[in-house]
């Protein structure tokens, strides 16, 4: 309670009841005066609290966006640098791989060519070995017979000329054996095969249609060693012709006769088995 002396009231100046009412008024006024600053400060604080949630000043917003823009620019520059480095590395790696692939492709092509050449050579060697085995089997057969083939003039066709080196014209010999199941022709002095042309061997019976025996090609040396099918049993006494034909199939000879022999004049070779020993 506020003392009366503090507000300038002496207890002896007024009577008791009037003095009490006067003190009550003074105290009420003093209480109201002191409560106004507190209410004003409370209202000020209340008015400042909403302002705390309001937008910051414009210069703070500008600085914020400048910071965000700087960070974005820095990130973009860093991304460009990283992308550029990755692109260069990828391009270098791609060029290296392409060079390696090209080198490997060239190596594969070389290996394929070498393989094809080796296979071709192997096939030729196998063919020669097979021909040599058959030829040896025929030559050492006990029933070996040989037929001499000589150049002849096919009526109505161009006459074959002798060789330019002075040797005789085309010639050959056919070795045949029924026990060996085959025959072999060795010929020399033949002209090299032309494009789309082949030499064709025929068994020519006295009556009936010719029977095809074999086809072969001739190189620049003019030599040929050819396996030949034996004639059917009914054509044992037939003759044998070698003609120059187109490479297409034909049932009968149509080209010029290069060599001719007669199976009826075959020579039997005695002691063939002893010769093997």
Q: d(Cα 218, Cα 204) in Å, to the nearest integer?
A: 22
Residue ranges, the chain, pLDDT below 50: 1-2, 4, 6-7, 9, 11, 13-14, 46, 50-52, 154-161, 273-277
Domain count of the fold of the chain: 3
Confidence at residue 112, expressed as pLDDT on a 0 to 100 scale: 84
* 127 and 231 inside one domain: no
* 172 and 153 inside one domain: yes
* 264 and 152 inside one domain: yes
* 103 and 146 inside one domain: no
* 151 and 271 inside one domain: yes
- pLDDT tens-digit readout, 107-138: 898 888 888 877 766 666 565 556 677 778 88
Please report, for the domain that includes residue 191, its CATH number: 2.60.40.200
The single residue listed with the structure tokens 């056919």 is 174
- Which tokens belong to 211? 């029977």
Confidence at residue 256, expressed as pLDDT on a 0 to 100 scale: 92
Confidence at residue 159, expressed as pLDDT on a 0 to 100 scale: 46
- pLDDT tens-digit readout, 238-266: 889 999 999 888 888 999 999 999 877 77
* 171 and 250 inside one domain: yes
Confidence at residue 63, expressed as pLDDT on a 0 to 100 scale: 81
* Residue 156 CA, distance from chain mean position: 57
DSSP 190-237: PPPPPTTEEEEEEEE-SSS--EEEEEE---TT--EEEEEPPPPGGGTT
Domain enclosing residue 69, as ranges: 57-139
pTM above 0.75, yes or no: no
């Amino acid at each position: 309670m506020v003392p009366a002396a503090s507000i300038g009231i002496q207890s002896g100046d007024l009577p008791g009841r009037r003095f009490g009412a006067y003190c009550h008024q003074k105290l009420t006024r003093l209480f109201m005066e002191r409560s106004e600053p507190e209410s004003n400060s409370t209202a000020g604080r209340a008015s400042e609290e909403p302002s705390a949630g309001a937008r910051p000043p414009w210069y703070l917003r500008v600085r914020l966006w400048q910071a965000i823009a700087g960070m974005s620019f820095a990130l973009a520059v860093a991304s460009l640098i990283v992308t550029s480095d990755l692109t260069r590395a990828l391009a270098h790696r791609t060029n290296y791989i392409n060079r390696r692939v090209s080198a490997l492709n060239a190596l594969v092509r070389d290996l394929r060519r070498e393989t094809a050449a080796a296979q071709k050579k192997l096939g030729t060697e196998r063919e020669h070995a097979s021909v040599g085995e058959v030829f040896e089997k025929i030559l050492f057969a006990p029933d070996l017979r040989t037929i001499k083939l000589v150049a002849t003039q096919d009526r109505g066709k161009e006459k074959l000329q002798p060789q330019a080196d002075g040797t005789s014209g085309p010639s050959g010999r056919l070795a045949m054996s029924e026990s060996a199941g085959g025959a072999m022709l060795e010929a020399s002095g033949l002209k090299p095969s032309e494009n789309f042309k082949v030499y064709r061997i025929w068994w020519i019976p006295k009556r009936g249609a010719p029977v095809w025996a074999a086809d072969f090609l001739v190189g620049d040396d003019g030599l040929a060693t050819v396996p030949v099918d034996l004639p059917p049993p009914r054509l044992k006494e037939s003759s044998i012709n070698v003609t120059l034909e187109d490479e297409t199939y034909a049932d009968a000879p149509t080209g010029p006769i290069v060599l001719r022999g007669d199976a009826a004049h075959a020579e039997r070779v005695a002691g063939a088995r002893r010769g093997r020993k």
